[in-house]
Structure 1
Amino acid sequence: MRQESPAFIALVQASAGAAGAIVASAVLQPVEVAKTRIQISTGGDDSTWQTIRRIAATDGILGLWLGAFGKCLENGAKNFAYFYIYDGMNAVVKSRMELTTAVKLVLGYIAGVGNTLMNMPLEVLSTKMQLEDAKGLSTLGMLHRILSQDGVGALYTGLGYNIALCINPAIQNTILDKLKEAILKALKRRNPEVTPALTAFQAFALGAFAKAVATIVTYPLVRLKTNLQAGKVPTATHPHAPQAKIERAGSLEQIRVMSFREDKDAEQLTILQRLIELYRGVGSALLKSTLQSALLYMVKDQVEHSVERLFKLSAKGFYRKTGQLKLGGFSGRPLAS
């Protein structure tokens, strides 16, 4: 195995990214559960802390980790797939042309689409597992319920929104890569004799900032997708959009409906109040997504070199110095075609 190959680079980055995602998901699952509950609501309090307290009071402390296994599995798989595709393409393209901001955005979007197509069922499953009616159900039990009640197609609910939302990780990783590149260049100029590397805090801060920008830009579509995956068609006391019409409406109309509240008269809401309502739960989403992204990149950056060393040692165990595979009695012989 050639250490500088795009496949090796992609495998290291993907494994480190998956490890970071699993750690971040496990730590932040209470915020994830609260965020999901807030996003599918259309009235009442949208405070993250109050929602967490309410869940703990009604479901116990374990209720805050409802669907944790599914979420860790989802985020681990999604980040492995994303970083494998993204860093693999980056390594290939970098050898042929300059990686401009526009090129990185395109590569990030393509990686996001590939990741979405592979891991969409896990996302739908983990979203369902965070709802109140998931109490007492295992991940496999929820999967059986979805398949028996709604069929395989239900596992791809909101696929179109997810394809559109692939711009989110594209924005995030482009911002992160550009800022990281600038910081490392500055460190190299300051001390040319030392190979520069981000500290844990720098990786944490860059991950949080990049995710915050991407989340704010795409949040209304994120909230609509969450509603649909949870089986909650947006509703509101809106005289010009009765429920029958809302269910058949397109994305823009459903997003518009989310800017109303079911406990307020539509005519009493100002434009600012409707904008605030449209971004219902953005506080918990920002808290969860920025902390998760920050933890992910911090862990990824710290374990990346350990993962690389592990793969190198593994490679030495399977290959001779000549590059031939060690295969017992077949060692050094070509495999039959």
Structure 2
Amino acid sequence: MSDNVAHALSGAGGGVVALILTYPLVSISSRLQVQRGGTGKNEYKNTADAFFKILGKEGCKGLYSGLGSGIFGIAITNGVYYYCYEATRLTVRKGVQSDKNQTALSIATDIFQQEGIAGLYAGVGAALALVINPIIQYTVFEHIKTKIVKVRALSSFDFFLLGAFSKLVATGVSYPYLVVKSRMQISQKADEKYTSVLDGLRKILSTEGVKGLYGGLQSKIVQSMLTAAFLFMAKEVLFDWSLWMLVLVGARKRLAVPSGK
């Protein structure tokens, strides 16, 4: 059995650990995102105000509302993501090694000749909407990681810092989309309903200004950075455990030096 399963297990476990540790910030950020900038006494002014109001009215249970479904979702998402990510990465690497003459330009030329300009951008709208955050995050993470490993080995704390920084960059860029997405997922009045992400961006800008696009950013930045930091650090630790677990159950042969790290 390949190491892809170990990556899937460690990624799922790391995601669960990170979510449990940071879930109160997830709840606060979600509530601030859907809030429309009102000034009533029940409105949240900032992260700290939201924390104490939720704690006072709903107790600790309110801060962890929905945790069960969140854990299930993150475990499945991360497990599938890391399995596919590693499998794709190895396939691409083998493809590059076996066919060095085929460049990105030649591939693009083939697509253009067969499908035209539309073929080069097929599915780009949905892809950008769904994966722009992890694309930015993992691009930044892998770029910095590659530079560091040329100088020295990475420690668990290095993975913690790399995870935090890469998520900071990704969240800062994609946050307005997250705000619109959160609002589209809740019930809205007819005159406030967004027909699309672009429509949502326009309406928020016209009624609430740029500030409306970044409601709850403070708590989201902190939560995202901590989640990513704990995820990457925990995944590296759990990866070795996952390998040994697969060895113990007979799903993998024992190796002197684990591969894939």
SS at match of 1:259: helix
Q: What aligned pairs does 1:57-76 form with structure 2 within 5 A after superposition?
A: 57-76=56-75
Matched, 1:42 2:41: no
State the match for 2:147 in structure 1: 182
Match of 1:201 among 157, 162, 175: 157
Change (3 A) 1:232 1:180: farther
Q: Which runs of 5 or more residues in structure 1 are unaligned?
A: 2-7, 104-159, 188-195, 234-242, 267-273, 320-337
**Which AA in structure 2 matches 1:230?**
I
Q: What aligned pairs does 1:18-37 form with structure 2 within 5 A after superposition?
A: 18-37=12-31
Question: Pairwise CA RMSD of aligned residues?
Answer: 2.4
State the match for 2:227 in structure 1: 292
Change (3 A) 1:280 1:50: same
Change (3 A) 1:232 1:296: farther
State the match for 2:90 in structure 1: 91
CA offset digits 1:228-252 (Å, max 9, x no partner) = 123346xxxxxxxxx53x5364322
CA offset digits 1:155-180 (Å, max 9, x no partner) = xxxxx878613121111112112211
State the match for 1:221 in structure 2: 177
Q: What aligned pairs does 1:185-334 form with structure 2 within 5 A after superposition?
A: 185-187=150-152, 196=153, 198-232=154-188, 244=191, 246-247=192-193, 249-259=195-205, 274-315=209-250
So what's the TM-score if we normalise by structure 1? 0.61
CA offset digits 1:298-327 (Å, max 9, x no partner) = 1001111121122123226x88xxxxxxxx
CA offset digits 1:224-276 (Å, max 9, x no partner) = 1111123346xxxxxxxxx53x5364322211222355xxxx7xxxxxxx222
What is the aligned-residue identity percentage?
Answer: 28
The structure number with the bigger radius of gyration is 1
Change (3 A) 1:248 1:66: closer
**Which AA in structure 2 matches 1:308?**
L
**Which AA in structure 1 matches 2:158?**
Q
Greater relative contact order: 1 or 2 (C-alpha under 8 angstroms, separation 6 or more)?
A: 2
Quote the offset at 1:89 in angstroms: 0.5
State the match for 1:331 in structure 2: none
Say whether the 8 Å CA contact 1:40–1:232 is kept in structure 2.
no
CA offset digits 1:135-189 (Å, max 9, x no partner) = xxxxxxxxxxxxxxxxxxxxxxxxx8786131211111121122112211111xx
In 1, distance between residues paired with 2:187 and 2:78? 25
In 1, distance between residues paired with 2:172 and 2:95? 34
Say whether the 8 Å CA contact 2:4–2:87 is kept in structure 1.
yes
**Which AA in structure 2 matches 1:96?**
G
In 1, distance between residues paired with 2:83 and 2:182? 26
SS at match of 1:66: coil
Say whether the 8 Å CA contact 1:35–1:285 is kept in structure 2.
yes
So what's the TM-score if we normalise by structure 2? 0.78
In 2, distance between residues paired with 1:68 and 1:162? 27
State the match for 2:5 in structure 1: 11
Say whether the 8 Å CA contact 2:133–2:171 is kept in structure 1.
yes
In 1, distance between residues paired with 2:162 and 2:232? 8
Say whether the 8 Å CA contact 2:10–2:242 is kept in structure 1.
yes
CA offset digits 1:13-49 (Å, max 9, x no partner) = 1111100100111111111111110000011444112
Aligned residues: 223
In the TM superposition, structure 1's runs of 4+ consecutive aligned residues that sit over 2 Å from their partners are: 160-163, 230-233, 246-251, 312-316
Say whether the 8 Å CA contact 1:203–1:294 is kept in structure 2.
yes
